[in-house]
Structure 1
Amino acid sequence: MLRFLTYNIHGCIGRTRNYEPKTVLEVIRQSDADIVALQEVIDEKRDRIRFIDALHELGYCSVVHAKTIDKPEGPYGIALLSRIEPSEVQEIELGGLEPRKALRFHIEHPEGALDICNTHLGLAGTERWKQIEKLSEILAKADQRHGDKLQILMGDLNEWRPGTRLIRKLRKHFQWVSTIPTFPSRRPVFSLDRVAIRGNPTSVHFHRIDDSGAVRASDHRALLAVVST
């Protein structure tokens, strides 16, 4: 069984507008996820420790941060965490009105090879479509090259409507696409954050993290996928 978490942490700025890195870290720790995809990550140094260093202390052997913007507080972007060292790491430029990226890990796991991708797509529908088109080509090539047992796309796709061409495209490639609302954190109604899975697992279960820390720590809730292979 493998656990995959996607979480837009909003720079660790919670609903109270306070900086809440410890609460964000606790949400991640309690999820017990093997792979974690984070969006809106700022490698900010406060209280004598950098946020990326704190992620390492959660026990993930691989923590990769892909910067998209330089902010006054520090480098801003996405991060991908894994308890298993990846054999391949790819940083993918997706372009857009605001620079966007994806991070891809290839992992040789005892239960079968995994291909994991984290992204945060743009706000405009036209740019999201261009970004998912580019990303789909890269993921298809990776699938042909490796023939992985599981291929998983996670992240904030900024697409909440069920019947858009972006969601239809996802469903053509992935057998499972989560639909659980994750935004806003106080009372989620929009499925901005997604986990999409391709392969032949014996079971897939999606869960939203609903404890008080997850409600408070960001403007999004974290989304967990539990996959039995």
Structure 2
Amino acid sequence: MELTFASYNIHKAVGLDRRRDPDRILAILHEIDADVIALQEADRRFGRRESVLPLDRIEDLGHYKAIQLGHRPHSIGWHGNALLVRRHFDVVHAGVVALPTIEPRGAVRADLLAQGRRLRVVGMHLDLSGLRRRHQLRTILTHLGRTDHHCPTVLMGDFNEWSLHGGSLREFHAPWRVLMPGASFPSRRPIAALDRVVVSAEWELLEAGVHHSPLSARGSDHLPVFARLKLPKF
């Protein structure tokens, strides 16, 4: 089974032209054509925290559904984190992972059934503080260590980590593997690999990269990253 996972900080759908354009973000998601997408900054920050990507527009894409977390009626996520998956995937479990933070940061988790296999995905947006990022990753890894039903897992999101191999990334030990899709920030001239994908041992990496297109170059201050992964047969 081969699946493509993608992560995209959509900056509340505000592009480099300072226009909020949900349709542009949806067009970029269509370009990526991933099976599972983790979004960051997908909700407005104040008021009702409604999604910047209306549900009916997501459904218009035809093959995605937003995983419902049930925390805010007008939001598709939690603290801006949201997960989109193929419509034919079954959602076995969905919830949030509360992170130690002062800023409104968080992580979301979902267990999915795809082609008869149970998969786990976590989307996250980590803190600007290096020490707090380490605490947040420890919290996520502890949460995963306590879950039932061990299964192939993918962690992805905006790690806010400028170091290529050190810093908060030292929290990951074998068998976890930190992938390097490439520089994704800032989108106009990317120099930092802030957006990462981390996988458990079961996955075989086929390809990882940064989605750079005319639309994505101006759709947000981040570029989307992706990883195409393969699971061996049972």
TM-score greater than 0.5 by the shorter chain: yes
Determine the structure 2 residue equivalent to 1:13.
Answer: 14
Name 1:221's counterpart in structure 2.
Answer: 223
CA 1:30–1:153: 2 relative to 1, 3 Å: same
- C-alpha RMSD of matched pairs (Å): 2.4
Take 2:141 and 2:219, find their aligned partners in 1: how far apart are those partners? 31
Amino acid at match of 1:109: A
More strand by share: 1
Paired residues in the alignment total 217
- Within the alignment, does 1:200 sit opposite 2:202 as a pair? yes
**Matched residue, 1:61:** 65
Equivalent residue number for residue 48 of structure 2: none
Is 1:109 matched up with 2:114?
yes
Q: Distance in 2 between matches of 1:106 and 1:7?
A: 20
- Name the residue aligned to 1:211: 213
* Residue 205 (structure 1) shift: 1.1
- Once the two structures are TM-superposed, the CA of residue 109 in structure 1 deviates from its matched residue by 2.1
Listed as ranges, the gaps of 5+ residues in structure 1 are: none
Letter in 1 for 2:80: G
In structure 1, how many angstroms separate the alpha carbons of the residues matched to 2:59 and 2:69?
11
Give the conservation status (yes or no) of the 8 Å contact 1:66–1:77: no
The Cα shift of 1:116 comes to 0.2
Matched, 1:121 2:129: no
C-alpha distance in structure 1 between counterparts of 2:171 and 2:70, whole Å: 25
Superposition deviation, residue 111 in structure 1: 5.5
| Aligned twin of 1:186 | 188
What secondary structure sits across from 1:96 in the alignment? coil
Q: TM-score, normalised by structure 1?
A: 0.86
Residues 16-59 of structure 1 show CA distances to partners (whole Å, capped at 9, x for unaligned) of: 11112111111101111110100011269xxxx96231223322
| CA distance in structure 2 between the aligned counterparts of 1:88 and 1:67, rounded to whole angstroms | 15
User: CA offsets, 1:64-99, max 9 Å, x none?
Assistant: 36879x9xxxx9611111111210011111131212
Structure 2 residue runs of 5 or longer lacking an equivalent are 46-50
Partners of 1:168 and 1:10 in 2: CA distance? 27
Distance 1:196 1:202, change over 3 A: closer
How far is 1:160 from its partner? 1.8
Per the alignment, do residues 3 and 196 of structure 1 end up closer, same or farther by CA in structure 2, a change over 3 Å counting? same
2:80 maps to 77
TM-score (norm 2): 0.84
* C-alpha contact 1:85 1:107 (8 A) present in aligned 2: yes
Distance 1:133 1:173, change over 3 A: farther
Q: Secondary structure at the residue paired with 2:17?
A: coil
Cα distance between partner residues in 2 of 1:66 and 1:94? 18
